[in-house]
Amino acid sequence: MTDTAVYARGLTRRFGDVTAVDAVNLDIPRGQIYGFLGPNGSGKTTTIRMLCGLLTPSAGDVSVLGLTVPGEAETLRHRIGYMTQKFSLYDDLTVTENMHFMGRVYGMTRGATRARTRALLADYDLADMHDRRAGDMSGGQRQRLALAVATLHDPDLLFLDEPTSAVDPENRRDFWEKLFDLVEQGKTILVSTHYMDEAERCHQLAILDEGVLRRQGQPAQLMAALDGRVVEIRGRDLREVRTRALGMPELLSAAQQGLQLRVLFAPGVTDPVGRLRAADLGRDLEMQVTAASLEDVFVAATLAGESAGERTAEHAGASA
């Protein structure tokens, strides 16, 4: 497990009668960005908190950076960074004061904190606002400061819980470039998101839904596993075409994207274009099988209700 940053088997968390995370298995390699994709309430944050040692699992075995969690959580704390979606900053403190305060929390010496602060202010384009209060900064500036704070003690592993939910697309793109810079330095990053474009940037991805790990693997492999199941339809009256298509029991979804309708079939359907034409959806429609997107993967994972065995077989086929 020397190349494994996070290992989990049967990771489970219950809150009373509610199972928030249900028997999740993880093997997260070092030196990569591993993403958790899922809607609100899917178990992403609960999983991250258990892996950080902030929340005790109801069941399961967990090892993070070779340390048992939660038993060795205090030792682990000095080797990980954690950035929440609400950017845990002190609004009344300046940029420098926030960083110096967190240096004391991490147990860093005053000299090491000052040197590291200077370096990170330059790296994250914050040097010119070192004396600005965090509460007076824009969303993108606060995001960069939160990442600088999370990496102040030079952790080996970063947990980022929906870190871009409050920033614009340009800042999101710049933020991800910073993450790849960190990976280039040998860091491992676990990031949760509900943005499809962000999930596609990850080296590997896990799709969570209702506390269950539905799929995991490289995004390209997950999309390739749906080959032959997605069809694009062009023509007139696409809203009516969509309504008729949704009456087909073998169809998982139908969604309009601009001038085309994108439909996703359940597993095992052969000749999907022929099925659509036989359904008499409308006149003069152009239909063709197309490559699956990550959104198609997400829909297939969360709506199809496929068993763990089916998912494993499909993933193995994609990896072959």
Q: How confident is the model at residue 2 (pLDDT cuts 50, 70, 90)?
A: low
Residue 297: CATH number of its domain: 3.30.70.100
DSSP the chain: -TTEEEEEEEEEEEETTEEEEEEEEEEEETTSEEEEE--TTSSHHHHHHHHHTSS--SEEEEEETTEETTTTHHHHHTTEEEE-TT----TTSBHHHHHHHHHHHTT--HHHHHHHHHHHHHHTT-GGGTTSBGGGS-HHHHHHHHHHHHTTT--SEEEEESTTTTS-HHHHHHHHHHHHHHHHTT-EEEEEES-HHHHHHSSEEEEEETTEEEEEE-HHHHHHTTTTSEEEEESS-HHHHHHHHTT-TTEEEEEEETTEEEEEEPTT---HHHHHHHTT--SS-EEEE-PPPHHHHHHHHHHS---HHHHHHHHHHHH-
Which domain, by its residues, includes 21? 4-218
Residue 114: CATH number of its domain: 3.40.50.300
Does the pLDDT at position 320 exceed 60?
no
Q: Are residues 206 and 257 located together in one domain of the fold? A: no
Q: Are residues 155 and 101 located together in one domain of the fold? A: yes
Q: Are residues 42 and 152 located together in one domain of the fold? A: yes
Q: Are residues 85 and 170 located together in one domain of the fold? A: yes
Q: Are residues 147 and 234 located together in one domain of the fold? A: no
Q: Are residues 63 and 159 located together in one domain of the fold? A: yes
Listing from the earlier edge strand, what are the strands of the sheet with 230-234? 251-257, 260-265, 230-234, 286-289
Q: Cis omega before residue 249 (within 30°)? A: no
Q: Can you give the pTM of this predicted structure?
A: 0.87
Which residue among 156, 189, 218 closes a domain? Answer: 218
Rounded to the nearest integer, the mean pLDDT of the chain is: 90
Q: Are residues 24 and 47 located together in one domain of the fold? A: yes
Q: Are residues 202 and 245 located together in one domain of the fold? A: no
pLDDT for residue 315:
34
pLDDT digits (tens, 9 = 90+) for 265-304: 999 999 999 999 999 999 999 999 999 999 999 999 988 5
Evaluated on CA atoms 33, 39, 41, 43, the torsion sign reads negative
Which residue among 200, 218, 236 closes a domain? Answer: 218
pLDDT for residue 97:
96
pLDDT for residue 310:
38
pLDDT digits (tens, 9 = 90+) for 57-115: 999 999 999 999 999 999 999 999 999 877 678 999 999 999 999 999 999 999 999 99
Does the pLDDT at position 317 exceed 70?
no
Q: How confident is the model at residue 39 (pLDDT cuts 50, 70, 90)?
A: confident
pLDDT for residue 304:
56
Which residue among 166, 189, 218 closes a domain? Answer: 218
pLDDT digits (tens, 9 = 90+) for 141-187: 999 999 999 999 999 999 999 888 777 888 889 999 999 999 999 99
Tally of domains in the chain: 2
pLDDT for residue 311:
35
Q: Are residues 47 and 89 located together in one domain of the fold? A: yes
Across 35-50, average pLDDT: 93
Q: Are residues 59 and 114 located together in one domain of the fold? A: yes
Q: Are residues 242 and 293 located together in one domain of the fold? A: yes
Q: What percent of the chain has pLDDT over 70?
A: 94
Q: Are residues 196 and 80 located together in one domain of the fold? A: yes
